[in-house]
Amino acid sequence: MSTPRLLYADGQGNILDHPGLGMAGSAGGRWEPVEESQCIPLPPGSELFLLPGRLPVGVGENGNFEVLDRDPANGAANVSAVAAFLAPAHTATLWSAYQSKPDAPILPLFAYAAVGLARERMVATAIRVDPLPRQDPDKFPPPQRIQAAGRRLLRKFAHNRLMQHLGHCAMGYGCPAARNLMLGRWEAPLPTAGACNASCLGCISSQPEGPFPVTQERIGFTPTVEEVVEVAMHHFTTGLDPLVSYGQGCEGEPLTQGDLLEESIRRIRARVPQGTINLNSNGSLPGVVARLMEAGLSSIRVSMNSLIPERHQAYYQPRGWSLDEAVESIKVVKAAGGHASLNLLTMPGVTDRPEEAQAISELVEQTGLDLIQWRNLNIDPEVYLRTLRLGPPTERIGVAELIEGLRRRFPKLKHGYFNPKL
Ligand code: SF4
């Protein structure tokens, strides 16, 4: 069995491999040695991060964990841990192993997969969970082509504030879903909600009291039914393999805009009898979900960090609803003949604990869930574990092993990363 070498960053930010220490990973704060067989080549489109105030942890020849506090090249003290923010469609099975210094700053809202060096190339502890190439970097044309397509669309829909907002998302933030709208293919976003009925610890669009800087500006207006329908119909009539989704990173909770969604879905459905109209949601309002199914919604993706009520509560800080409503929303969609996905915000050492695995299986049994999307939870793991009052796991299944176990137990249950076109 071969062990990849530890990667670390020197004081100038250069990423180097350690001559003697092997790669380690972390699962919920528990360090683990890494074998090459647990790794894949670092996926194209992944980003490498240097973790400030964090000392890398590797494995010595004696098998013991060693905290690296000096650069082996020159004895300098300012070394830092390194991690990979994986490209879409990939789920981390271990996160970066490090020891935080007392004054270490909180890490921004990204996921920090373990990365090492094997056979002279970078590898990461990850699995590809979805074969769909929707957000593969080599499937996107050069930025200037996206800009040109975007400008054309913004001229054509100069009167439509929603299209203008999505143009900004595509050309400003590089949002893959908004870029696919500009390019006329696959899943297009329909954000509508400025407000939310939760205060997720890791919300990427609103952090009033939170410790993290937001990574996306929240939509600042409520589009009209006409604006939403126009964007959707443009995509359905001109797009390649099109589907549309309410509930995006640049908005609050779409179910808080129930009337707007119901009327826009009804009008879209009247003109597109077969098209996939999806809702990404926290699942908080099953009554509204029932109305949307009646109006013509095809599918729902409900996001959860955990199926353990107190862990869901601690992360979502829901107002006037709980995990029960989120589960009920899945049941409502299934009862109405729709497709239901769980967007499982995944962290190794938390999601793959036996009690979580048991709760996931119970959810599948109770609801007839169709798909689990294994999305990496973008958050500083130490802040997350503290908030959930969790220490390092004494027992864990492994993320890849958990997925394999669910495949065997529920052969009809699909596993992926993207909303399917039905
Ligand atoms: S449900 Fe979504 S929009 Fe609302 S706080 Fe959580 S992440 Fe943010």
Report the nearest atom of ligand 1 relative to the CA of 193: 3
Residues 187 and 238 in one domain: yes
Nearest by Cα to 266 from 295, 290, 234, 226: 295
Residues 394 and 269 in one domain: yes
Q: Whole domain around residue 315: which residue ranges?
A: 137-416
Residues 123 and 141 in one domain: no
Ligand 1 pocket check: which of 109, 251, 253 to mutate, most ligand atoms within 8 Å of Cβ? 253
CB atoms within 10 A of CB 131: 9
Residues 81 and 144 in one domain: no
Ligand 1 pocket check: which of 192, 196, 315, 343 to mutate, most ligand atoms within 8 Å of Cβ? 196
Q: Is the CB of 304 under 6 A from ligand 1?
A: no
Of the pLDDT bands very low, low, confident and very high (cuts 50, 70, 90), residue 364 is very high
Residue 86 lies in a domain: yes
| pLDDT digits 0-9 by tens, 158-174 | 999 999 999 999 998 88
Residue 328 lies in a domain: yes
Identify the residue whose C-alpha is closest to ligand 1 atom 6: 200
Last residue of a domain, one of 99, 128, 157: 128
Residues 217 and 146 in one domain: yes
Q: Is the CB of 252 under 6 A from ligand 1?
A: yes
Residues 204 and 124 in one domain: no
Give mean pLDDT, residues 67-74: 94
Residue 422 lies in a domain: no
Residues 202 and 319 in one domain: yes
Query: Could you give the angle at which helices 225-238 and 161-168 cross, rounded to 10 degrees?
Result: 60
Identify the residue whose C-alpha is closest to ligand 1 atom 7: 203
Provide the pLDDT for residue 109.
95
Residues 361 and 270 in one domain: yes
Residues 122 and 184 in one domain: no
Q: Is the CB of 197 under 6 A from ligand 1?
A: no
CB 333 within 8 A of CB 299: yes
Residue 346 lies in a domain: yes
Q: Report the share of the chain in percent with pLDDT over 70.
A: 99
Residue 421 lies in a domain: no
pTM above threshold 0.85: yes
Tell me which of 25-34, 210-219, 294-303, 383-392 is least confident: 210-219
Residues 82 and 49 in one domain: yes
Residue 341 lies in a domain: yes
Q: How far is the C-alpha of 323 from the C-alpha of 338, rounded, in Å?
A: 20
User: Cα 277 vs. chain centroid, distance in angstroms?
Assistant: 20
| pLDDT digits 0-9 by tens, 97-115 | 999 999 999 999 999 999 9
Q: How far is the C-alpha of 344 from the C-alpha of 417, rounded, in Å?
A: 10
Residues 70 and 109 in one domain: yes
Specify the number of domains making up the chain.
2
Residue 103 lies in a domain: yes
Residue 104 lies in a domain: yes
| pLDDT digits 0-9 by tens, 223-245 | 999 999 999 999 999 999 999 99
Last residue of a domain, one of 79, 96, 128: 128
Of the pLDDT bands very low, low, confident and very high (cuts 50, 70, 90), residue 418 is very high
Q: Is the CB of 200 under 6 A from ligand 1?
A: yes
Residues 86 and 191 in one domain: no
| pLDDT digits 0-9 by tens, 386-412 | 999 999 999 999 999 999 999 999 999
Of the pLDDT bands very low, low, confident and very high (cuts 50, 70, 90), residue 1 is low
The CATH number of the domain holding residue 204 is 3.20.20.70
Provide the pLDDT for residue 215.
79
In the reported structure, the alpha carbon of residue 250 is separated from the centroid of ligand 1 by a whole-number distance in angstroms of 10
| pLDDT digits 0-9 by tens, 174-209 | 898 999 999 999 999 999 999 999 999 999 898 877
Last residue of a domain, one of 128, 147, 165: 128
Report the nearest atom of ligand 1 relative to the CA of 252: 3
In the reported structure, the alpha carbon of residue 205 is separated from the centroid of ligand 1 by a whole-number distance in angstroms of 8
